[in-house]
Amino acid sequence: MDLLNTLVDKGLRRELPTREEALAVLATSDDELLDVVAAAGQVRRQWFGRRVKLNYLVNLKSGLCPEDCSYCSQRLGSKADILKYTWLKPDEASKAAAAGVAGGAKRVCLVASGRGPTDRDIARVSETIEAIKEQNEGVEVCACLGLLAEGQAERLRAAGADAYNHNLNTSEATYGDITSTHTYQDRVDTVTKAHGAGLSACSGLIAGMGESDADLVDVVFALRELDPDSVPVNFLIPFEGTPLAKEWNLTPQRCLRILAMTRFVCPDVEVRLAGGREVHLRSMQPLALHLVNSIFLGDYLTSEGQAGQADLDMIADAGFEVEGAGTTTLPRHRADALAASGCGTSPTGCGSHEDGACGSHEGGGCGPCGGHAAPEAPEQVPADQARTDLVSVRRRGAGTDLAPNA
């Protein structure tokens, strides 16, 4: 297939595909799907081998957000029956983070709902970062706190943060359709602030909100222009009680094509399979490992993922290996450029937030060992019916007395 040969050649040279080529990937047929995965897999292996980086989410405070992001279970007016709690104390957050590190996570992503942090919040998160770093040698920490004001990224960097996550989520043209309380440009500005402060920038998207192929290509090309080190790809988790509860329009095949397109456009970047993978990819998750080089371990912010051990078994059974703490995630040319910019000792990206602040959307955290198994394939769903059977609200881990899923 000439298209795929061209895209592989470009990916191996870090050359940007054309918009037409990116759109053509999304338009391929199911009969061509394995060819698409194999082609994108060549690019993935060139820059990341067969390593899979594990990331772990800690939801520092849950719910009670003043923003109105339609996809988010923590949004203003949300009727989703999620956990709601205010800020975890630094020792509580550090204990939660340690569970993820013990499970193999290399990076801990600290997420807080809200428009953006106050200076007091920055001080609180800084204490948390210091506690995690002190108790977990070599761990990377990514903060995901919403829109940043001037000087806040620098303060997080000084506290030891390695990265900052803030997702673009969708194309600029359609951003106003999902959120009215802040703008697309607000998000771009926050990613730019993080980059400028020497933090590794992490920014991604949410697919499955009713967007077109052109919207998906637009947001991935915009991300390429911003040049984050990490691009989390989330698939909408349609929480009952949110405006997008009935948006069930993704198939496993569609998800794989979106991941492949992202890899072709961002060949040497950490592409993370984030919120919604269990719900939408289901038994096809192992194929996605040929496209991405990073996943979240265990649960998400307000929803449960599959058992942490099931994640590890999936990686091993598919012939991949968990990336060790002593291994640099990014290819050498990106790692060197990041080090020269003054970023931390662990150059990679982050990702997961429901209000779009962090890399694993879900609404999309952290979280007794075991968890629930990956959901079975959904039945045909009436247009006016939410799928409460496929979305399991997190009831363990951070903010609860139950052990997290790691």
Catalytic residues: 65, 69, 72, 109, 142, 202, 272
* Residue 110, beta-bridge partner list: 58, 143
What's the rounded Cα separation, in Å, for the pair 108 and 136?
10
- Which has the closest alpha carbon to 311: 103, 98, 49? 103
Residue 240's Cβ-side half-sphere holds a number of Cα atoms within 13 Å equal to 11
Spatial contact of 57 and 296, defined as CB atoms under 8 Å apart: yes
Q: What end-to-end distance do the CA atoms of the chain give, in Å?
A: 41
Torsion angles phi and psi, residue 112, rounded to 5:
-140, 130
Spatial contact of 181 and 147, defined as CB atoms under 8 Å apart: no
Give one word for 312, left, alpha or beta, with left for phi > 0 and alpha for psi -120 to 50. alpha
What's the rounded Cα separation, in Å, for the pair 361 and 366?
12
